[in-house]
Amino acid sequence: MQNRVSLALLPALITLFTIAAFGQTAPSPRPATRVNGKPNMTGLWQALGTADWDIQDHASQAGPFYQLGAIGAEPPGQSIVDGNEIPYLPEALAQKKKNYANRYQEDPVIKCYMPGVPRATYVPFPFEIIQSQKDILIAYEFASTNRVINMGKPEEAVTDTWMGTSNGRWEGDTLVVDVTGFNGMAWFDRAGNFASDSLQVVERYSMLDANTLKYEATITDPKTFSRPWKISLPLYRHREEHARLLEFKCVEYVEQLIYGPLLYQPGKKK
Amino acid sequence: MSKRIFVLMSALVVAVAAGQTSKSAAVPKTPWGDPDLQGPWTSDDTWGVPFERPANFGTRAFLTEDELKAREKQVEASKQRIEHPSDDQHSPAKRQLDALNSGTPAPEPAPGGRGGGRGASVDAAPVPGQFGEYARRASKQTSQVVDPPNGRIPELTAEGKERQAAMRGRGRGGGSPDSWEQWSIYDRCITRGVAGSIIPVIYGNGLEIVQAPGYVAIRYEMVHDTRIIPLDGRAHLSKDVHTYMGDPVGHFEGNTLVVETTNLNDKMGVGANGGGLPYSEDTILTERFTRMPGNVINYELTVNDPKTYTAPWKVAFPITQEPGYKVFEYACHEGNMSLRNALLANRAEKEKAAEAAGK
């Protein structure tokens, strides 16, 4: 009898033994496609394309530094704006044109400032989504920018910020994020497309397949645009083994640019 | 199956079961079974605890009842100063406001309180009142360094001593710096590093943990670093990559998240805001985040850098969850007027001196 019981227990014991011996160090299994009843968006993502140069249709052109030749040139690209048109109010359109003319001086991203939303999504750097059972973190490689999407009771922005205040909710399998509380200082691209501090961005993230996200954002800003408009683009999962978010702290790369002109230069009058 | 093996395995089953129930019952778990460390946390409660232990405490790690009462009074006083600055004639905020109103120069802030620049002392400074962070309860610890048993950073290696000597005289110190490069990495809003991002300072001691299956992410409020810690047992990056925040990999041991960080660069120290003597590129930082019942994580950081220190050493303190405490965007570089103003002031001084010299 005793023998029979112990034999019957054997598989369970072996399992427990295995867990005890290896459970702590065994690698986690591949990420599930769904987690907690929602599509699992955890992972490293990146946009392809040239939206960061210009979210509208654009032909290629020479870059600002002839020394960089082909690698410094602006690549061509197609619009991520639905219908390609951005409905600027007249004054805002004039400002956009001014921004474009001065884009290689005034684009805030040149200075390693946070890119804002939606631009952080399609600057040419990856970002990581960490999707918990509740809140969702997005960590962007560019300038170590990050934001946490509050999935609980919506909270009003307590102050204006570069990345805004993100309140999210699930609509079926789509993650909808309402972003407000912007400081109005970020641009949409290197071409000088911009908005004011009354900007509202409603983002929609949905899985096209296990390795592709569809990203859509509706842009509303009555101070800048005559009507809401929309962008959409796919985001691709980094599938390289052990791909990870690396460190791109660009502050060091812009100090000469920002602070250089402030330094004392002997013999030079102020 | 022999009786002996059966007995052995039964014992093991009991051990595994007992270990899991006694440890797991009290702390929250994620739906996928990891200990749940999520939410905003702060190291505020250790603010004011000396980094290294004052010599008179010897190997005594905790305050006596009387000493604790004295610290409780200090903690209460800090809280009052910060919550009601205008009520306190002696608060730095009040003094500065008075100075502004009267047009006289504001008194100098306490030395070493801010910056933790290269070469700055890592000892805790008195709490200036104007920034609004304070311990909510008095810590019993006599120091943040808990190992070696005397609570002091171990002796430096010969190389470490050389580097420390070379560092002296550099940094902000006195006078006004000619270039941003003389300011600390923190002053320049680049980062506070792994240790400096959690060691408590006068403000901005918040961090937020978010977990997903296979990952733990930690984002720190001040200078907004995020560490993504994979739990899949992957190898570290190659030796070609050295960065400020390094390459973290982690795993759970019971209710403890163990994070090993390598691939660090040699620009940061284990001190307030990443100050102190910078560690070498060979450094291994091992952190243990132990989820306790209630709103506490016991945090430990072991510094292993044989190039700089003659022995490994350990810092430990609790981090806590507090009602209403949140992590905000800290756009440090974007708003870095302090560095800009200092450089402009330096230029103005130099121009004035040159003018006076008739150049």
In a domain, A21, yes or no: no
Residue with tokens 């399992």: A15
Higher pLDDT, B110 or A244: A244
Is the predicted pLDDT of residue A13 greater than 50, yes or no?
Answer: no
In a domain, A250, yes or no: yes
Distances (CA, A) of A122 to A46, A99, A231: 7, 19, 11
Q: Are A44 and A128 in contact (CB under 8 A)?
A: yes
- Residue A205, min C-alpha distance to chain B (Å): 17
Q: Does residue B21 come out as left (phi exceeding 0), alpha (psi in the -120 to 50 range) or beta?
A: alpha
Is the predicted pLDDT of residue A60 greater than 60, yes or no?
Answer: yes
Mutate to test the interface with B, among A107, A179, A244 (most CBs of B within 10 A): A244
| Residue B90: band (very low, low, confident or very high) from pLDDT cuts 50, 70, 90 | low
In a domain, B17, yes or no: no
In a domain, A181, yes or no: yes
Mutate to test the interface with A, among B34, B215, B236 (most CBs of A within 10 A): B215
First CA to last CA distance, chain A: 99
In a domain, B39, yes or no: no
What residues in B contact A156, CB-CB < 8 Å?
none
Could you say which DSSP state residue B280 is in?
Answer: P
pLDDT at res. B114: 34
Higher pLDDT, A248 or A14: A248
In a domain, A115, yes or no: yes
Is A158–B328 a contact, with Cβ atoms under 8 angstroms apart?
A: yes
Number of domains comprising chain A: 1
In a domain, B200, yes or no: yes
Number of domains comprising chain B: 1
What residues in A contact B243, CB-CB < 8 Å?
246-247, 249
List the single residue in B with minimal CA-CA distance to A250. B190
Nearest CB to A245; choose among B30, B228, B235: B228
In a domain, A270, yes or no: no
In a domain, A183, yes or no: yes
For chain A, what is the largest distance between any 2 Cα atoms, rounded to a whole number of angstroms? 102
Distances (CA, A) of B344 to A252, A263, B100, B351: 19, 7, 21, 10
In a domain, A113, yes or no: yes
Q: Give the domain extent around A181.
A: 39-60+67-256
In a domain, B345, yes or no: no
In a domain, B13, yes or no: no
DSSP B298-310: EEEEEEE-TTTBS
Is the predicted pLDDT of residue A71 greater than 70, yes or no?
Answer: yes
Q: What is the CATH number of the domain that holds A206?
A: 2.40.128.20
In a domain, B238, yes or no: yes
For residue A268, give the amino acid letter: K
Is the predicted pLDDT of residue B167 greater than 50, yes or no?
Answer: yes
Model-level pTM? 0.85
**Strand residues in A40-122 grouped as ranges (E):** 43-47
Chain segment A84-113, per-residue pLDDT in tens: 999 999 999 999 999 999 999 999 999 999
What ipTM is given for this predicted complex?
A: 0.88
pLDDT at res. B107: 41
Distances (CA, A) of B256 to A131, B253, B287, B297: 21, 5, 10, 9
In a domain, B30, yes or no: no
Q: Give the domain extent around B324.
A: 45-338
Is the predicted pLDDT of residue B103 greater than 60, yes or no?
Answer: no
Q: Which B-chain residues 217-246 have CB contacts (< 8 A) with chain A? A: 217, 219, 223-226, 228, 230-235, 241, 243-245
In a domain, B273, yes or no: yes
